[in-house]
Structure formats: C-alpha cells, structure tokens
Amino acid sequence: MEIIIAEYAGFCGGVRRAYNMALQASQEDQSWYTLGPLVHNQAVVQDLRNRSITSVKDLDELDAGGVIIRSHGVRPQVISELNRKKLKFKDATCPLVKRVQELAQLLRGEGYEVVIFGDRDHPEVQGILGWCDNQALVVADINQAREMAAVKKLGVISQTTKNQEHYFEVIKELIHKADEVRSFNTICSASRKRQEAAIKVCRQVDLMIVIGDRTSSNTQTLVQECKNTGVKTILIQDVSDLNTGYLRGAQRVGITAGASTPDWIIKEVVNRMTHYDEGAPQEQNQEVNQDMEQDKVEETAQKTTEEIVQETAKETVQETTEETAQKTVEESNQETVEETAQKTVEESNQETMETFVKLEAEMADLAMPNRGDIVKGTVIQVLDDEVMVDVGGKSEGIIPLRELSNRKDIESADELVEVGQELEVLVLKWDDDGTILLSKKKVDNKKLMDQLEEDFKQGKVLDGTVVESVKGGLLVDVGVIGFLPASHVEDGYVKNLDDYVGKDFQFKIIEYNRHKKRGSQIVLSRKELVAEEKKRLKEQFWENVEEGQTIRGKIKRIVDYGAFIDLGGFEGLLHVSEIDHVRIDHPSSVLTEGEELDVYILALDRERERVSLSRKKLLKSPWEIVLEKYNEGDIIEGKVVRLAPFGAFVEIEPGVDGLVHISQLADYRVEKPEDVVSVGEIIKIKILSIDPERKRIGLSLKEAQEEEEDMEVQEYLEHQDEEEDF
C-alpha cells in the first residue's frame, strides 16, 4: 500500500499562532481561559485543558484570570467587556480574520450594504457581524444571494474558510443587485491551497482520508472537495477512528488534514497505517515529515509567533499571483466569474465618466510641478538608497533615502515604501537632466508640526516616549523630538533621569517655535499632569480611608525614624517603633525602598493630613509564635544572651527569652553561671514551664543533657541487641 500525503495539511499559520500563544500563556503563573474552543478540534482543546487552559462559553463565567481570544476572532463588544472587567487577555485572532473584520467595518462606515458569504452560526462570521454593527446580510449559497433585494451600494466579503468558486458564483449573482459593487476575496489562501493539494492527491489514489474535527468548517469543505472528485473519501478525527476495513483492497491511499488538525494526530494516523502494510509512506510533504520526527510540544514550538505572522502575510501577498496562475485558456477566452465580479455597473454603463477621467489624466500629464510645490506621486521603483516617483509632467522624481523619513534606523528604502504606493512629496529642486529631487520627510514634518502647533494652542495632552537622557533633562519622541526639562519631569526633584528612558508618558507642550534654529522647537512638561493626578488620587484617598484598614503601599523613602509609604495618592509614616515587635537598629535593616507591603492604618489626622501606619499590628507577636511553636517538655536550641548571678537568659525566639536557673545549669553545684555557659553560645535546653500570663519560660540545661545521654545509651543498647541477633 502506497501512502501519499497532501503537500498542504495540518495546522495553518493562524491556528499555529493561536496554539503557540496558548502554550506561552500556560507557562504564566495565573489561570487562563479560552472564549469558546481555541480551534475546532477536540484534541487541541483537550491538550490545552491538560495544561490548565479551560474553555468557557461566556465572559459572565469569569471574574478573574486571563482570557485567550480564539483564532476565529470576536465582536468588538467582547473586547470592551474584557477591559471593563479588567481581565488580562491575549488576542489570538488569525491575522486574515482581522483583515476581514476591518473590511466589514470600513464598508459599513462608507455606507455600503454589507454581505458576508459564510455560515451565520460560525464563530468567525458572528465576530465579523459585530464589526459592522450587525447590519450585514449573511448568505450561505447562491440561492440565498438570488433572494436578496436590490440596493444602491453593495460590499461583499467572505468567511475565510469557504470555497472560492462558490464565492465567485455568489458574486456573479449579486453583481446585478446594486448600482455599485465592491467585492473582496477574503478566502484564506491556506484553505485554498489545502483544497487544491487534496484534489491533486485525489487524482492519484483510490481512497482519500481527511483528518479533522467534524465541527471544523474548513475540514468539512475539504471533505466535500475530495468527494467531488469521485474518489472514495472518509473523515476521521484521529487514529481511533481508523478502521482496517477502510484500507482493505486500497493500493494507493491519500491523506490530508484540516487547518485546525495538529501535526501529532497526522503522525499517529500515518504510523498506524504503516503497520497495516510493510511499505513505508512513499511520498510525504517535507515539512510534515520533519514535524513527525518530534513530539508535539517541540514541533509546535519550532515556529515563533512572529514567524507565523510572516508566513501568513506572505501567503496573503502571493494570493493574487496564485489566482492569476489558476486561470485556464478557456477562462481567458470568455468572461470569467472573477472578471464579472470586478465589473461595476458604473464601469460598464458610464462611458461619459470614463472619457472624462481619461481627459483629466492627459491634462495632468502636461502639468509641470514647480520648486516648493507639494504634489502627489506614485512609486515606480524602489532601490536601497532612493525611490523613483512618477509625479506627472512626463518626468520622474527621486526621493533620496535621507529625505524619506526621520528614522535613523532605516537601512533600505523598501522598509518604508513599495511600488505602486501613492505618496505626498515636496519638490526640492530640478536637476539639469530634468530629474526632480523630492522629499517625503519634509511633507510629513510639516503636517506633524502643524498638528503639534494646534495641540499647543488647545492645550492637548500628547503621548510620547522618552528616548534619551541629556544634560538638563530628557529627549522625548512625540512624532518629532522634543525637550523635557528635568524640572518638569515630576512635580518634585528627580534623582535619576535615566530611570525614565524607554518609558511612555503623557505630556503637554509648554513652548512651541517651529522657526527656532538652535535648541528644541518643542519644549514639553508633565509636571502639571503629575500634580493633577496626585491631587485626584489624594482626594480619592481621603474619601475612602478609615482607621483600622489594612492597605497596600510602596516604600518611597527610608529615614532614621521610620519609612514613608506611598498609599496610592498620599504618603503615610511608618514609625520605627511600629515596624516590628522587636527592637531594630535602623529601618533599612528590615525595609527596602521600592518594596510593596501591607500596612495598618493606626491613626488619621484629617486636619493636618497625617497618617500613622503600623506593620507590627499585622505581624504575630513573639509570644504568639512561641505558644504556637513550643510545648513544655520540648528540647530546643537557644542562644545565651545575658548572664545573671541566679542563672542564664536564653533567647527562644527574637523578643522572647527564657531563664535557665543556676540550679538547672548542671548536675553538680554551680558557683557562677559563666563557669558553665557564655554569652553568644548556642545550647540545647529543655522547656520546663511556659507561663503566657506572666510571660515567663523556665528552662533546664541539665535535664536536656540528661535526656540526650539517656537517648545515646538507649541507641547503644538497641544496636548491641541487633548485633547479638545477627
């Protein structure tokens, strides 16, 4: 029996990306949930459940934990609800599905009646509906499209896992339903490749096996495509569904798998099939074959999320080329479904408008841009160090790399622009050969400076990133580089400006001079914003604080007499006497600046706005620890801390000492305690008595030594008995 595996089978880029994100989440120290099954495959769902990632149907079931948005995407209202409930989330929506969501939103915003080709109950379609305010018609086939009423403007998109030919049939039916039609082929190229690869294998085999979950839309489409070829086709979810009767009499067996089928399931099926016959698989996709040589965790971890996104983007970019390559000679000689879908009523009936557009284009060709003009042009060539732009006037313009952007990290122009892109540029000068020198950077800068000037006049708050620490302050990127004086970083003195580099903050422009030659044209401040925020938090603090509360705070600074604790809007004093039950030499021996801790509100003085705090109140007293930890008769270790004529005091726990009376120091008469023990010595003592009311503990060194000797004798005797028995 010969086994042929389709070239494209198993996880697509979007599903692998979602699964990798879930694996990464499982390593984090918190509970994670998926909003519905991450993908339509029970094996994957069970695998995630084993990693403590649970599927829930509704956000109402959650008040804590993290949420992973599955590859099918969700309505925007779900994102709003996650933010409202302050739940951490990871968005694993397939990048191609996001593209469809954006198109739906765009079409709806531009006044188009939106039609979605897909299954109304599919989670992807449900999510897309949310992005166009649920004001879209979902059609599942050509019959439903035929029943649609006529409209003025129509925008058509598709569920990513549908059949492309069926989509074009629907477009052909809808083309007559509106004066203007815009259609977008949003079917995933990965799904199409799987279907084409499966059909190719079907033509070579007498049995086709499709591996995938029965609830998966793309798997069901794959099964139907295989059946349409006339070859016997069976659907199995995993190796347990593989029946030997299926394979009886089959000489060549084909295998494919849906986009939500993990590679380890494909491996198990192939391995089982090879046991039915002595022959090994004759033809396998190289990528699948490599995956099968590793366990399922390793094979999934081979590709990073970034690589998956790059693969998906690459597939999307190649989509148009692949569609063109699929055209047959027969299609090129007749009006194809695709060509019909692209024609609008305006293109086919408004010859007058076409004539006007041509005339307007010819007039534009004759216009010659002048130095200082801002014109629009189309990129016709991109090199590493320059970009060639058609700006009309039968001349090309050149944008040097230095005039393309303010960014200094750009090494090649193709990082910023591509052929066919329309740009707005400034004409700098004409060269003798007629070439025009252009600048995109100056146009962008002008627009940005205009906007910043307006923001300055209106006192708007800007977002920016601190990029560098310099003498006297910080440099901040707000689109252009502005200067933030050190005195305006906070509403007080800042010790280390380097702590702010790389962080995002909000700012206001306090000085604006676009014509300034030296120094910064824009001077920023966050001092006022910080003060306003502190005032708001301070008011909120005094409204809610009460004596006796326990509150979380952060140590701002440590002084000799205690520590000042930031309570989220106001600072309170934790006096050195309230840090611990035992005496401490200095607060820094127990506390660290920047540390977070719980403190007890000991006292409030609202008139003087003072808050006294206690850490000691939240700690067990040394005597509570002793009563929990020790009992009379216990033999323990302690440290001799001081001597007296009548005995030795031994520290049991920090803050609690017990007394070894002179009569309990040894089994002979002791003249002075220092004859037996010394300060600082660690000794074993027996607890004779504990008096919690008088807070006294009686200890004995003598009895501890006697018991220890008795134990040694007993162990010796037991050892002797064992030797005699032997």
- As a whole number of angstroms, the distance between CA 34 and CA 527 comes to 42
Pick from 180, 67, 149, 160: nearest CA to 116: 160
What SS3 string covers 538-575? HHHHHHHCCCCCEEEEEEEEEECCEEEEECCCCEEEEE
> With contact defined as beta carbons under 8 Å apart, do 488 and 522 qualify?
no
DSSP 280: P
Alpha helices in 292-350 (DSSP H): 296-301, 305-325, 329-332, 337-342, 345-349
- Token couple for 226: 């295989």
- Token couple for 106: 């765009």
Would you call 403 helix, strand, or coil by DSSP? helix
Question: How distant, in Å, are the alpha carbons of 43, 181, 226, 262, 410 from that of 266?
Answer: 12, 42, 18, 7, 43
DSSP bridge pairs for 660 = 648, 699
> With contact defined as beta carbons under 8 Å apart, do 474 and 507 qualify?
no
Buried-state track 246-261, b at ≥16 Cβ within 10 A, e below 16 = bbeebebbbbbbbbbb
- As a whole number of angstroms, the distance between CA 317 and CA 299 comes to 26
Say how many C-beta atoms besides its own lie within 10 A of residue 229's C-beta: 15
- Token couple for 225: 């495509």
- As a whole number of angstroms, the distance between CA 74 and CA 126 comes to 7
What is the residue type of 557?
R
- Token couple for 576: 């050195």
44: left (phi over 0), alpha (psi -120 to 50) or beta: alpha
Helices (H) and strands (E) in the chain, counts: 22, 32
Pick from 680, 681, 671, 626: nearest CA to 647: 671
Active site residue 225: no
Torsion angle (degrees, nearest 10) of CA 423, 429, 434, 437: -40
> With contact defined as beta carbons under 8 Å apart, do 266 and 290 qualify?
no
SS3 content of the chain, % helix, strand, coil (to 5): 40, 25, 35
Pick from 228, 280, 287, 222: nearest CA to 253: 280
- As a whole number of angstroms, the distance between CA 638 and CA 623 comes to 15
Q: Do the bridges between strand 481-485 and strand 473-477 make them parallel or antiparallel, or are there none, so unpaired?
A: antiparallel
Pick from 635, 617, 619: nearest CA to 683: 635
What SS3 string covers 572-621? EEEEHHHCCCCCCCCHHHCCCCCCEEEEEEEEEECCCCEEEEECHHHCCC
Question: How distant, in Å, are the alpha carbons of 67, 239, 432 from that of 97?
Answer: 19, 30, 51
Sign, CA dihedral 539-543-548-549, equals negative
Annotated catalytic residue within 7, 124, 225, 268: 124
- As a whole number of angstroms, the distance between CA 405 and CA 391 comes to 19
DSSP 221: H
Indicate which residues carry an active-site annotation.
124
